[in-house]
């Protein structure tokens, strides 16, 4: 497949190289030629120096044939404008834009852009790890608004039902593994010690689940 990456900083260079390693055709654009020094020596994709706001530069990159475009410069304002321009001028719908400053995120959302907010997501992940080391995130959707968590049932909760742990509407069971066999559990599923449970939850939902687990330990 053909992908265009706009911005050859650390994020752009890493992304372009990962796509190249997986056998895709990659064009990476940056307005500064020295930025291409961020690329590994064995990167054999196409590099193009130029201003991404210039449609002639985008056409030289054959962006009309791109299956997807990532706009990952270190400027939020540039990312918003370029992503919107690429969609409007070339009718490309598969566009991912990088957001660095969380204060700019509403602007990305106002243009209905698919956005990856590294600062927000990273801060949330650090907060989660600080709170509880026994619960592991195995999948993150969007920018971490909903995630899938994995945890092991402690001895104190053996014999209880899953519904006694999962309360509220912001946490839902996904899977349960017992002795190597996985099932789709319900809230009525009785728990054994060392069951491995997967749940999908918002940040508030997983916080409530952790509190519930801790309450039985304290009792």
Please say which residue of 93, 118, 143 terminates a domain. Answer: 118
b/e burial code for range 197-211 (CB count within 10 A of at least 16 → b): bbbbbbbebbbbbbe
Same domain, 112 and 133: no
Same domain, 107 and 133: no
Phi and psi at residue 94, to the nearest 5°? -85, 80
Same domain, 17 and 95: yes
* Integer Cα distance of 45 and 177 in angstroms: 43
Same domain, 132 and 103: no
Per DSSP, the residues of 113-180 read -EEEEHHHHHHHHHHHHHH-SS-EEEEEETTTTEEEEEEE--GGGTTSBHHHH--SSSEEEEEEEETT
Same domain, 38 and 92: yes
pLDDT tens string, the chain, 219 residues long: the values are: 999 999 999 999 999 999 999 999 999 999 999 999 999 999 999 999 999 989 999 999 999 999 999 999 999 999 999 999 999 999 999 999 999 888 888 888 888 888 888 787 777 767 766 765 577 888 888 777 898 998 889 888 999 999 998 888 899 999 999 988 999 999 899 999 999 999 999 988 988 888 888 876 554
Same domain, 65 and 164: no
pTM strictly above 0.85: no
Same domain, 113 and 131: no
Nearest CA to 94 among 68, 132, 65, 127?
A: 68
Predicted local confidence at residue 54, as pLDDT: 92
Same domain, 175 and 152: yes
Predicted local confidence at residue 133, as pLDDT: 55
Same domain, 21 and 62: yes
- Domain of 141, in residue numbers: 126-218
* Integer Cα distance of 181 and 15 in angstroms: 36
Please say which residue of 85, 118, 151 terminates a domain. Answer: 118
Same domain, 136 and 112: no
Predicted local confidence at residue 207, as pLDDT: 87
């Amino acid at each position: 497949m053909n992908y265009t990456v706009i911005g050859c900083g650390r994020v752009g260079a890493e992304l372009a190289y990962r796509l190249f390693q997986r056998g895709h055709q990659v064009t990476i654009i940056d307005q500064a030629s020295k930025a291409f020094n961020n690329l590994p020596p064995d990167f054999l994709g196409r590099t193009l120096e130029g201003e991404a706001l210039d449609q002639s530069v985008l056409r030289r990159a054959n962006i009309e044939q791109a299956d997807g475009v990532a706009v990952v410069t270190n400027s939020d304002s540039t990312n918003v404008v370029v992503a919107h321009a690429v969609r409007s001028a070339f009718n490309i719908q598969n566009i991912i834009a990088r957001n660095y400053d969380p204060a700019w995120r509403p602007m990305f959302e106002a243009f209905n852009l698919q956005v990856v907010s590294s600062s927000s997501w990273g801060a949330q992940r650090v907060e989660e790890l600080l709170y509880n080391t026994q619960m592991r995130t195995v999948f993150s959707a969007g920018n971490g608004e909903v995630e899938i968590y994995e945890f092991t049932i402690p001895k104190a909760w053996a014999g209880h039902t899953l519904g006694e742990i999962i309360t509220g509407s912001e946490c839902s069971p996904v899977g349960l593994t017992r002795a190597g066999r996985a099932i789709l559990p319900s809230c009525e599923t009785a728990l054994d010690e060392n069951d491995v449970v997967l749940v999908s939850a918002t940040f508030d939902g997983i916080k409530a689940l952790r509190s519930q687990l801790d309450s039985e330990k304290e009792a």
